[in-house]
């Protein structure tokens, strides 16, 4: 709980933080990130089916040999990619501490740069 309070206190300093009410639960937007690995997993193949606002599943991969803080992003049970390595440490720590974290597709863009095609919003339940 102490870690969580420190986490929330740190987030107060972020000017872009938002609070949302979803299914009777208060959630705090803690991160907006592009999807890493768009070209390598199912995101490109499922592009036409995906819609803004749809729920995503975040799964910790602490045994990932490339990144001990890896967080896999899934949509309808299919791996789309990962939260970017440079932006996943805080969310990984929150997940490891047992905090309820969820995510959604924030933005879908037709863009030649795959890093610009899918934007993910990550929330922590308060």
Q: Two tokens at 93?
A: 């720590």
pLDDT at 17: 47
Q: Two tokens at 15?
A: 């000017």
pLDDT at 25: 76
Give the residue extent of every domain in the chain. 2-125
Render the burial of 44-77: b for 16+ CB within 10 Å, e for the rest: eeeeeebeeeeebebebeeeeeebebbbbbbbee
What is the average pLDDT score of the chain? 85
- Its pTM stands at 0.79
Tell me how crowded residue 86 is: count the other CB atoms within 10 A of its CB.
Answer: 9
pLDDT tens for the 126 residues of the chain, in order: 555 545 554 554 343 445 555 566 788 999 999 999 988 878 878 888 999 999 999 999 999 999 999 999 999 999 999 999 999 999 999 999 999 999 999 999 988 888 888 999 999 998
Strand order, beta sheet including 101-108:
19-22, 25-34, 118-125, 101-108, 55-60, 71-75, 78-82
pLDDT at 11: 53
**CATH no., domain 2-125:** 3.30.70.2330
């Amino acid at each position: 709980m102490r870690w969580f309070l420190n986490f929330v206190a740190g987030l107060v300093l972020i000017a872009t933080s938002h609070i949302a009410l979803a299914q009777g639960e208060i959630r705090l937007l803690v991160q907006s990130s592009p999807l890493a690995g768009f070209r390598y997993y199912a995101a490109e193949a499922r592009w036409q089916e995906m819609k803004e606002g749809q729920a995503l599943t975040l799964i910790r991969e602490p045994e990932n040999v490339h990144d001990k803080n890896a967080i896999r992003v899934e949509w309808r049970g299919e791996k789309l990619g990962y939260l970017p390595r440079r932006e996943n440490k805080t969310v990984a720590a929150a997940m490891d501490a047992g905090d309820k974290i969820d995510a959604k597709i924030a933005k879908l863009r037709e863009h030649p740069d795959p890093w610009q095609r899918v934007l993910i919003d990550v929330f922590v339940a308060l």
